[in-house]
Amino acid sequence: MSIHPLAGKPAPLESLTNIPRLISAYYTQHPEPGNPAQAVAFGTSGHRGTSLDGSFNDDHVAAISQAIYEYRRGEGITGPLFMGMDSHGLSEPALYTAIEVLLATRWRSASTKIINTPPRQSSRTPS
C-alpha cells in the first residue's frame, strides 16, 4: 500500500467539508420520492448518503426512526433501544432527529443518556 501524498500534511482547504453547509442542507433539502439517487440506501456500515445531494437528511432519519418504532411496537419489542453517534458532521443532527421522533411517539422507555466513548486506538497509531 502506498503512502498518500498528503500524509502528515495539513489538508488543503478545497478538500475540507463545509460542516455548516452540510448541516444546513440536512434540514433544508428534501428528497424527491421518484429519484432513486435520493432514496434511503444502506451499506455495510449503515446508511449511505450526504445531505448535499438530498440522499441523507432530516426526512430520511425521521422516516427510518418512525419505521424502527413501528416495527418494534408491532413485534412487541419493549426493551431498550441503544443509539450512538460518531464524529461525522451529521451524526449529532441525525441523533437529535431520531430522539425527537421517538419522543413524539410517546415511547415509554424513551430517555437519553449520553456516554462518551473515546475512539479506539489503532495498533498503528503511536501512543
Gap between the Cα atoms of 93 and 23, Å rounded: 7
Give the orientation angle of helix 58-75 with respect to helix 91-104, to 10 degrees.
40
What residue numbers bound the domain in which 71 lies?
17-104
- Residue 124 falls within a domain, yes or no? no
- Residue 23 falls within a domain, yes or no? yes
Check which CATH number belongs to the domain holding 21 and give it.
3.40.120.10
CA geometry: angle 68, 69, 73, nearest 5 deg:
115
Rounded average pLDDT over 76-84: 84
pLDDT in tens, 3-50: 999 999 999 999 999 999 999 999 999 999 899 999 887 777 666 788
What total number of domains does the chain contain? Answer: 1
- Residue 123 falls within a domain, yes or no? no
- Residue 112 falls within a domain, yes or no? no
- Residue 50 falls within a domain, yes or no? yes
According to the model, what pLDDT value does residue 121 have? 55
- Residue 122 falls within a domain, yes or no? no
- Residue 125 falls within a domain, yes or no? no
